[in-house]
Each structure stands twice: as C-alpha cells, then as structure tokens.
Chains A and B, each alone.
Chain A
C-alpha cells in the first residue's frame, strides 16, 4: 500500500504472515520473504558455521525447505520464528551428521562502505576481535547470543526456536555475557 501526503510517500509493508500464507502458491510472496530474511538467516547460520561455503550450503538448504514446506506454516507464531526454527534444525542436523562441533575457523569478510580506510581498518579490527570472542563461545551460548543481538529476538522466541525453556535461555545469555565480558575486558573496545 502506498500513501501520499504533501509530497511524502509512506509505504506500508505487507506483514510477513500474510505473505507466508500465500507463499505456497505465489512465488512473488515467497520472494518477498526471501528478500527480507536471506541476510538475517545467513548471518545466523554464518555465526554457527565454520566457513562461508558451509554457511551458503546451509542457507540454501533452509530456503529450499522454507519454500517446499510453505504450506505447513500455520501462523501460530511469527514467520521469523518459523524460519529460524528451520535454520536451527538444519544446523543441528548438520552437527549430528558431521559428528563435530561447528568451530568457527575464519572471520567472515565484510564489504563495508565506511568513509575512510583508517576508520574502516579500526572498525573492522574491533569487529574481528568481538567476533573471535563470540566464535569461541560454546555452541548453545553462541546461538542464543546471535539470536538475541543480531536478530533482536526476545527470550520467548529464542526458547521456541531452540526448543529450550525461557529460564535456560536466560541462563545461557547470562553466561555468554559474563564470558564475553571477561574475555573482552582490557581490550579497549567497549
């Protein structure tokens, strides 16, 4: 819907859940959801994956699954929670099949339109240090930290996605923050 007043254009987005209800038979609706969630899903997967190639493979799998299971979305929760649940399951299955933990081996590259090369280098270094410390967290802590800080999900949503109790999610977040606080103290980044 597009409203126009005094030369200003206000665009209201179709809610995710409306698009999700159409996604099984309307590719345009799915495509809009894909545009909204590709980056967040990739970011979440990449934070749990050892390298970019694995993150791409898992992300592709998640969207093929989201498309082929589109008709199973019942709308009793948000689409965001639904697709992150698929992502959580895909990562868990990957871990089981590969019989190993997804230790993050390399810092993802960032193409950042920062103003100066120096500030870009400093920002990038700081990000790299924080990312390294996040990557060193145990899997369960890393997962809840990513969902909380990168995806802005609340405790209840995180609990649903990760199939944990709200209390367990709070404890994981608390422990992760303590650990990060301890490892980042004295690094002059905060």
Chain B
C-alpha cells in the first residue's frame, strides 16, 4: 500500500513539476515575440493623424484585408484612410527593399 501511495505521489509531483515547467516554457516562448524596432513609432504617427468618429464603411473585395479593411466593421473613415495609407506606404517600402 505504501509503495503504491508513494508511486502515486511521485507521479503527481512529477506532473506538477511538468505543468509548472510547461506553463513557464509557454509563457517564455510567447513573451519572446515583440514587434520590430520602429513599428511602434511608425504606427503611432499614422494613428495620430486619425480623428475618431464611428461610421460604417464598405468593404472593397479588390483590396481585401491586405488593405486592413474588414467587411461590416464600424470604423472611422479617417481611421480607415489612415490604415490604407499606412499599409500602402509600408508595402511600397517593402517592395523597394525586396
């Protein structure tokens, strides 16, 4: 009985150690993802020029999500325009680099 109990306890403690280790490993792996330097300030500049007022915008299938406009969403016209311009600028830069 004692041996069985001890084996159970050993297994339980092994599981706890594993769970803690697993949680920490996942946390660390996910924490290691951060935006590239410069992204925060680029986006902030684009956001700064965006007045906030909600209106409905229509989606254009041609442009799709590649232009950051999602169908049916309520977004500011200026906000959407800002996103479009910002996205275009970034893609243009990427294109020139690549």
Contacts and interface: CB of A to CB of B under 8 A. Distances in A.
By DSSP majority rule, is chain B's interface helix, strand, loop, or mixed? helix
By DSSP majority rule, is chain A's interface helix, strand, loop, or mixed? helix
Given A93-B71, A177-B19, A67 B27 contact: no
Nearest to B71: A93
Interface stretch (A10-18, A68-76, A157-165): A68-76
Interface string A5-39: 00000000000000000011101001100110011
B50 A39 contact: no
Q: Which of B17, B23, B48, B68 gathers most chain A CB within 10 Å?
A: B68
Interface residues of A, number: 59
A127 B26 contact: no
B22 to A, nearest CB: 6
A134 B26 contact: yes
Nearest to B18: A190
A127 B94 contact: no
Interface of B: 17-19, 21-23, 25-37, 39-40, 43-44, 46-48, 50, 52-54, 64-66, 68-71, 73-76, 78-80, 82-83, 86-87, 90, 94
25 contacts: A34-B47, A43-B30, A43-B34, A46-B33, A47-B33, A56-B36, A57-B90, A64-B68, A68-B52, A68-B54, A68-B74, A69-B54, A72-B54, A72-B74, A94-B65, A124-B32, A126-B25, A149-B30, A150-B31, A177-B19, A180-B26, A181-B18, A181-B22, A185-B18, A190-B18
